[in-house]
Structure 1
Amino acid sequence: MPFATVNDHSLHYTDIAPLSSSQPSPRTLIFVHGLGSTQNYYFPIFPYLTSYRCIIFDNYGAGRSNFKAGTETSIESVGKDVLALLDHLKVDKAIVVGYSMGGMVPTQLASTSPSRVEAAILIGPVHPSPQVAEVFKQRVPKVQSEGMESMANTIPNAATGPQATALQKAFIREQLLAQDPQGYIANCRAIERATPPLYHDVRVPALIIAGEVDKSAPLEGCKLIFESLGSEKTRKRLEVLQGVGHWHCVEAPDEVGRLVREFVEGM
């Protein structure tokens, strides 16, 4: 399994080469997953992205990227990991894709390191607020006392839409059970302490994909982010998936995959 040591910790990543491409130098996409998931969250949409290089990694403290006790993480540190992994793989510029907690990273990087970001794709992005902070603050003592079972037994039903299948919910449950509780807690605290990125400084093409019944990243927050982006009106899009909750790439992989492909093709 490929690991990269960046910023004093090890990240497990997957680097998928394009199967075919009409471009002499195909675009590179790098994917940042959300709280409680892993890089596997994105795999259902990759059949739509075979013309591009796709780099996916487990966030520090999630999946196979082990967490060191006594350390912390933040949206800014995840962004630094993205840039360091791109450096490790000798990639100058990429389309940054982020989901949920990771959905804050494309705008954070586009506003602070614009030379490294070709475009931003936000899937169910969390918009930091006192209300959001309180939700994730409350998860910490629950996981401390009950472990990941407490999340695995509730989130697959509570955070999906009415069309989600039992198999999809089982996949979500497995990702949650695979989490290191301490890493999950550190990432809960990262969301709790997050502040909104400087949306108005984002000038790159941007796509936001929202779930109509997403309770974790409500449509209102996605609309606020969309309106706040500094990207020109013709270079930003907001797409709403009907009947979809917070696990977009699992609940509606065909819709998400097509939207991402169409957006990249149209750049």
Structure 2
Amino acid sequence: MPFLQANTHRLNYADSHPDGAPANGHTFVFIHGLGSSQNYYYPVIPHLTEKHRCITVDTYGAARSPYTGDQVSIPGIADDVIGVLDALKVSKAIVVGHSMGGLVATELGSRYEDRVQGVVAIGPTHPSEMLVTVMSKRAETVLGAGMEPMANTIPFAAVGSRSTALQKAFIRELLSGQDPKGYAALCRAIASAQPSDYAAIYAPFLLIAGEEDRSASMEGCQHIFNHVSSKTKSLEVLNGVGHWHCIEAGDEVGQLIAKFADGISA
């Protein structure tokens, strides 16, 4: 897989249509969550690539994008996404973000209106005091004991009743492959995050929530949805699904995103 330079960071990415989106299609850029990688979206992407260009990125410090000691912030990750679009000469895109990536997607929607055609937030995290506590503790844990404590717990605690053993194994592999220092830096980025200016988001907006998501509460998702200013917006709840939506219900998520894209003018 190729790398590109976005600001000061060397990021691993994949691009389904390097020569540009198909005629009348959109370009998507996908931002994964904590402890994940661009591969999180591969159950979803087959629903889109016939019509659309899909760019997936490993966030700085995660998966194959090396951590070099920089402090990480949600606005900084958003700036890196714009850097990716600039490097690939993409003027506008639909941004898709999961969990931590949902924070980034709303940040992009509120700050870069001229670059964002639509926002898809999947189980987006809404900053809270509890989130600060959880993320701070996780950072300390992985710096002391590595990724094994996360790999041995999150795949079982953060999924819904529909999840399978294979899906849990995939999540475990995503977590096991993380650099503990990069993971801790991303935990601190979430802990220090401020809510995006949701009211500044006017692009078409889709929020996908898991009925059994204990990491991104329905209360938080509803708060985000209620405060977005988009005239075209929808909230979809997946029954029996926890926090790893694209792995637990990839076909459903893919179909929802494809339908959402059909409603946006190219």
TM-score by length of 2: 0.96
TM superposition outliers: structure 1 runs of 4+ over 3 Å: none
Q: Which amino acid aligns with 2:248?
A: E
Deviations 1:195-242 (A, max 9, x none): 00000011110000000010110111111100010112xx00000000
Q: Which amino acid aligns with 2:219?
A: E
Given that 2:98 and 2:121 are in contact with CA atoms closer than 8 Å, whether structure 1 keeps it comes out as yes
Alignment of 1:82-231 (within 5 A): 82-231=81-230
> How many aligned residue pairs are there?
263
Q: CA deviation at 1:25?
A: 4.2
Deviations 1:166-201 (A, max 9, x none): 000000000000000000000000000000000001
Unaligned runs of 5+ in 2: none
Given that 2:6 and 2:81 are in contact with CA atoms closer than 8 Å, whether structure 1 keeps it comes out as no
Q: CA deviation at 1:100?
A: 0.3
Find the counterpart in structure 2 of residue 15 from structure 1: 15
* Range 136-145 or range 165-174, more displaced: 136-145
Find the counterpart in structure 1 of residue 79 from structure 2: 80
CA distance in 1, matches of 2:140, 2:81: 29
Find the counterpart in structure 2 of residue 250 from structure 1: 247
Find the counterpart in structure 1 of residue 258 from structure 2: 261
Q: Which amino acid aligns with 1:16?
A: S
1:32 aligns with 2:23: no
TM-score by length of 1: 0.96
Unaligned runs of 5+ in 1: none
Deviations 1:143-162 (A, max 9, x none): 12211000000000000001
Tell me which of 227, 233, 236 is aligned to 1:236. 233
Q: Which amino acid aligns with 1:249?
A: C
CA distance in 2, matches of 1:200, 1:238: 16
Give the secondary-structure state (helix, strand or coil) at the position aligned to 1:237.
strand
Give the secondary-structure state (helix, strand or coil) at the position aligned to 2:76.
helix
Give the secondary-structure state (helix, strand or coil) at the position aligned to 1:44.
coil
Find the counterpart in structure 2 of residue 5 from structure 1: 5
CA distance in 1, matches of 2:23, 2:150: 45
1:53 aligns with 2:53: yes
CA distance in 2, matches of 1:215, 1:55: 28
CA distance in 1, matches of 2:71, 2:128: 20
Give the secondary-structure state (helix, strand or coil) at the position aligned to 2:42.
helix
Q: CA deviation at 1:24?
A: 2.4
CA distance in 2, matches of 1:106, 1:25: 23
Q: Which amino acid aligns with 1:27?
A: H
Q: CA deviation at 1:10?
A: 0.2
Find the counterpart in structure 2 of residue 63 from structure 1: 63
